[in-house]
Amino acid sequence: MTEPGPRSPSGFRRLRERELHAGHVITLVEGEFETPDGEVISRDIVRHPGAVCVVPVDGDDVVLVRQYRAAVEKDLLEIPAGKRDVVDEPPVLTARRELAEEVGLRADEMVPLATFYNSVGFSDEYSHVFLATGLHPVPLDRQGPEEAHMTIERVPLDEVAAAVSAGRIVDAKTIIGLLAALRHLGR
């Protein structure tokens, strides 16, 4: 159980939360909140350590991965990404590690592009997006069965917007990262 939190500007306040499940990546809690009117409500919340996402741009291409995602039972085209599973590690270092692990690349430059909450209706997951340029090959170090079976695909930057519009790219972090990168690059 947690201690009550401060009131939000709109008048809501967390009263307590109770852990329902602690998993490999996430923790599920039931939270009780007091509304501005004094009503007590319950909400299921997924606690997540946060994530990093990397848009690796090599010349006129972006380097993506096609990875199986059990929650939707599909292989999705995504930017390299991973959870912030090393306590107090700066997001840029986590992003550099994920870039090397997933696509075997090291970047001379990592530029912060955006930060965002993934699904605020039920989760506190917070992601950091970086643009990686000046890429050099390094050994892969894939972690887990999904990464072991992922493939690397290059997509021309000029085809990114069309791929998003046509539904070939449907992953939210990938859409956010790619569109932020295109804007940053003036494309």
Assigned domain for 6 exists? no
Please check whether residues 130 and 70 belong to one and the same domain.
yes
Assigned domain for 126 exists? yes
DSSP string, 98-130: HHHHHH-EEEEEEEEEEEEES-TTTB--EEEEE
Assigned domain for 64 exists? yes
Please check whether residues 77 and 155 belong to one and the same domain.
yes
- Of 16-20, 84-88, 160-164, the one with minimum mean pLDDT is 84-88
pLDDT 10s digits, 98-120: 999 999 999 999 999 999 999 99
Please check whether residues 117 and 171 belong to one and the same domain.
yes
Amino acid at 144: G
Please check whether residues 169 and 127 belong to one and the same domain.
yes
Sorted by sequence, the CB contacts under 8 Å of residue 30 that are 6+ apart come out as 17, 18, 20, 42, 43, 44, 45
Number of domains making up the chain: 2
> Does residue 42 surpass a pLDDT of 80?
yes
| Domain closes at, from 23, 47, 71 | 47
Assigned domain for 59 exists? yes
Give me the active site residues, please: 147
State the pLDDT at residue 1: 58
Please check whether residues 112 and 179 belong to one and the same domain.
yes
> Does residue 171 surpass a pLDDT of 70?
yes
Please check whether residues 117 and 77 belong to one and the same domain.
yes
CATH number at residue 82: 3.90.79.10
> Does residue 147 surpass a pLDDT of 90?
no
Please check whether residues 17 and 68 belong to one and the same domain.
no
Q: Which residues constitute the domain of residue 64?
A: 51-184
Please check whether residues 21 and 88 belong to one and the same domain.
no
